[in-house]
Amino acid sequence: MPELPEVETVMRGMERALTGKVIQGALQRRPDLRVSFPERLVERLSGQTITHFKRRAKYILMSLSSGETFILHLGMSGRVMIIPDGQGVAPEKHDHLVIDMVNGVRVIYRDPRRFGMVYMTGVNDDIAAHQAFAKMGPEPLGNEFSGEILQARLKNKKTIIKSALLDQRVVAGLGNIYVCEALYRTGINPRTASNTISAAKCNDLVRHIRDILNEAIKSGGSTLKDYRHTDDGLGYFQHQFAVYDREGLACPDCDCDMMDARNGIKRIVQAGRSSFYCPAKQK
């Protein structure tokens, strides 16, 4: 479910509530999610002070006073719930990890589909070398991302641009929604071959990717189904979607004759994923 803006929003919620706080204990309610939980996870969390947070692509990194780092990926349906005075309430069916803080706050990781992942790096581990990050491309909102960099990465790609932008090695943090929206804003058809996109278009694409991610973060992300803020609040960027999940509707600056069934937003399937686009605006 969550892409970069949603993960950023969850990370900020955790940062606000948990930085400097001490973990009293934890309850791990099953052996695995998408991958096994780390060895001795509860032990390694208990008694630690949470020192700071960081986000890398769609991963949340929570640093502990021990020097270890707790790494969380929300998968498709993962949620982090932060509940003041939440201790003592019975966990629900899909509450796979429960962390209780000394101050009475309860942190719940809930994930019905269990596509989420939890890793823990050791004290001396190089986090950038971790399997999740080793081959990952630049942060789209960081200084390492630019039109030139993007074009260099697309130059040797035979795949369509839609798939290339979903590839976390090209640029890290985008998912289906924001790729569809960024291609719309840039006026690029999702079928376009990656290696045919001009330098000018790459510059435009980078600008639009940054804009849309920043706007989505400001809106607290997009709530379609499972996604919620750590305080249960909703994101509202979904109301700004131009094309995503809008098959058959008019795009925002549409001047097409909508009585003609050939006009309006189309849905096609590419590499097994839905792509939404406007044929009139994305040639």
Partner DNA sequence: CTTTGGGCCTGGACGC
Partner DNA sequence: TGCGTCCAGGCCCAAA
- Please list every residue from 1 through 60 that binds DNA, using CB under 7 A: 1-3, 6, 34, 57-58
Cβ nearer to DNA, comparing 101 with 177: 177
What distances in angstroms separate CA 158 from CA 107, 193, 209, one per listed residue?
Answer: 44, 6, 21
Residues 6+ apart with CB under 8 A from 25: 42, 45, 46, 99, 100
Contact mark string toward DNA, 62..101, x via CB under 7 A: -----------x-xxx---------------xx-------
Q: 112, 174, 172: which is closest to 138 by C-alpha?
A: 172
Instruction: Report the alpha-carbon distance of residue 283 to residue 271 in Å, rounded.
Output: 20
Instruction: Report the alpha-carbon distance of residue 98 to residue 83 in Å, rounded.
Output: 11
Answer whether 76's CB lies under 8 Å from 8's CB. Answer: no
8 in catalytic set? no
Residues 6+ apart with CB under 8 A from 196: none
Q: Name the strands in the sheet holding 69-73, side by side, starting at the edge strand that comes first in the sequence.
A: 50-56, 59-64, 69-73, 117-121
* Token pair of 118 as six digits: 């939890």
Instruction: Report the alpha-carbon distance of residue 212 to residue 207 in Å, rounded.
Output: 9
273 in catalytic set? yes
Contact mark string toward DNA, 242..271, x via CB under 7 A: -----------------------------x
Q: How far is the CB of 21 from DNA (least distance, A)?
A: 27
Q: How far is the CB of 222 from DNA (least distance, A)?
A: 6
58 in catalytic set? yes
Query: Is residue 274 within the footprint of DNA (CB under 7 A)?
Result: yes
6-24 burial, b if ≥16 CB within 10 A, otherwise e? bbbbbbbbbbebbeeeebb
Contact mark string toward DNA, 136..175, x via CB under 7 A: --------------------xxxx---x--x-x-----xx
Using CB under 7 A as the binding criterion, the count of chain residues that bind DNA stands at 40
Q: How far is the CB of 232 from DNA (least distance, A)?
A: 14
Cβ nearer to DNA, comparing 58 with 208: 58
218 in catalytic set? no
Query: Is residue 240 within the footprint of DNA (CB under 7 A)?
Result: no
Contact residues for DNA, defined by CB under 7 A = 1-3, 6, 34, 57-58, 73, 75-77, 93-94, 112-115, 131-132, 156-159, 163, 166, 168, 174-177, 222-227, 271-274
